[in-house]
Amino acid sequence: MTLSETINQFLHHPNHLPKNLIWRFPQSKSNQKHIFIFGAPRSGTTLVKLICGAHPHLNGTGYETGIFMYKDIFSFAFEGFTHNEMDLIRSNSTDIVDFFDKFSAENLKKNGGKRFIEKTPPHVLRIDFLLKYFPNSQFINVFRDGRDCYCSARHHQNVMQGKNLQKYAKYWRRCVQARLKQGEKLNIFDVKYEELVTEPEKVVKKMMAFLQEDYDEKQLISDYYSQNKINKSNRKEFKKLSKPIDKASINRYQLELSEQEKKDFEKIAGKELNLLGYSSNI
């Protein structure tokens, strides 16, 4: 959801604003073992989410919720839930943490699974909040070369930062910095997109060990993990998710960006590219 869409929500429902403010200073902490997946836009978070969701114990929504970004929770609707069902969850919740626990529990009740997966890329910018209020949860952060991310983002209708290289480079840098600021933590697992698509079985086995779940061979069968609402939407940006994992998108920026565009990106985010092991001239 864009900032303008959020503002429009509050303009239509001004009485929701104080309730949202109160809910965003929660009194409760979750004891649930949710799985949060995040990272810069177009870094591979959807692929990671689908692979995790192919496990029989894990399940999540077809689309990202964005619950912990600045949106109107009291206008929040989600596919598969009626307005009455959402209102009932809200009325039985004390704050945003309690609401998320109840929302995720209802999702599992409807769709099966023992643990809930939430995938919203910009939630990486809310990592401090999530670590504080969901101490028993586990977090998977996805890194990818920011220049490749930009090549994908600029063709994606919902990544507003992708309309401008400088804007996207700054946003990618901000997402990376938010994760790096946390340092090493036992409940955060970093996945590099390039390693995932080069050695998928090795990386996914490590990821599942982190989640303390057994690896299931079906998790890497595209015909299985692609049976998801986003893949059935016929949106161009999700077409690749229905095909076997390959390395074709690594270093795509070398062909798709001009020399000046490469320099412009590296001037902004070269330090972060180098910190993550991606070559740059900075």
> For 263-272, what is each residue's pLDDT tens digit?
999 999 999 9
- Mean pLDDT, rounded, for 222-233: 60
Do residues 210 and 138 make contact, with C-beta atoms less than 8 angstroms apart?
yes
Closest CA to 263 of 237, 239, 281: 281
pLDDT at 5: 54
pTM of the predicted model, to two decimals?
0.90
Count CB atoms within 10 A of the CB of residue 74.
18
| Whether pLDDT at 24 is above 90 | no
Give pLDDT tens digits for 123-172: 999 999 999 999 999 999 999 999 999 999 998 878 888 899 999 999 99
Is the pLDDT at 189 greater than 90? The verdict is: yes
Asked if residue 52 has pLDDT above 70, the reply is yes
Identify the bridge partners of residue 118 per DSSP, sorted by sequence position.
Answer: 36
Question: Does residue 236 or residue 20 have the better pLDDT?
Answer: 20
Each residue of 56-88: pLDDT tens digit?
999 987 778 889 987 888 888 888 899 999 999
Which tokens is 253 given?
């920026």
pLDDT of residue 233: 47
pLDDT band, very low/low/confident/very high, at 19 (cuts 50, 70, 90)? confident
* Domains in the chain, CATH or no CATH each: 3-14+31-144+184-250 (3.40.50.300)
Residue 20: its pLDDT value, please? 85
First to last CA, the chain: 34
Residue 8 has pLDDT above 90, yes or no: no
- pLDDT band per the 50, 70, 90 thresholds, residue 12: low
**Sequence-distant (≥ 6) Cβ neighbours of residue 205 within 8 angstroms:** 215
How would residue 16 be classed by pLDDT, with cut points 50, 70 and 90?
A: confident
Quick one: what percent of the chain has pLDDT higher than 90?
A: 70
Q: Is the pLDDT of residue 250 over 80?
A: yes
Q: Angle 49-50-51 (CA atoms, 0-180°, nearest 5)?
A: 90
**Mean pLDDT over all residues of the chain?**
89
102-135 b/e (C-beta count within 10 Å ≥ 16 → b): bbbebbeeeeebebbbbbbbbbbbbbeebbebbe
